[in-house]
Amino acid sequence: MNHFIYFGILSTFVLSCACGGASQSTLPADAVELAPVVKSVAEDPLSLAERWLQTGPEAGDALWEQVESWNNPRVSRLFLAGEGRYHALVSPAGEPADAGAIRLVIARDTGGQWQIVSAEAVAARGLWPRL
């Protein structure tokens, strides 16, 4: 007898989900989709390094020309360098040992916001861990 009660409850639930009516997630024809919110201040060193990779420094900068020459550049490493500073390594995808990389030095400014203190081209050969 209890099996019939459970079956009745389960079938009622399934039918109510299947026939729930119109979806509330559809937008009207005249609605405008909003773009995702982009924060103007980086909350951590990794997001700051990724933002640098997306926007880059001033046009004509030699480091930026190097980044643009790579296929699929990315922030491949981020590590604490000491004294509250982080190093972010930007390199082509796959981290080839013979390719160059760009090291971003990231630290907090006097207001507590993350900023890129320096950026320099480095030889990647000694930077990748030997696995």
pLDDT tens string 33-88: 554 444 456 689 999 999 988 887 665 578 888 888 888 888 888 889 888 899 99
Q: Are the beta carbons of 101 and 90 closer than 8 angstroms? A: yes
Q: Is 29 domain-assigned?
A: no
Q: Is 1 domain-assigned?
A: no
User: pTM to 2 decimals?
Assistant: 0.62
106: exposed, middle or buried (Cβ count in 10 Å: 0-12, 13-18, 19+): buried
Q: Is 35 domain-assigned?
A: no
Quote the tokens at residue 33. Answer: 């989709």
* pLDDT for the residue numbered 130: 45
Q: Does 22 score more than 60 pLDDT?
A: no
Give 131's pLDDT tier (boundaries 50, 70, 90).
very low
| H/E element, 116 | strand 114-123
Q: Is 54 domain-assigned?
A: yes
* pLDDT for the residue numbered 124: 67
Range of the domain at 55: 45-123
Q: Is 69 domain-assigned?
A: yes
Q: Is 115 domain-assigned?
A: yes
Domains in the chain: how many in total?
1
Q: Is 93 domain-assigned?
A: yes
Q: Is 32 domain-assigned?
A: no
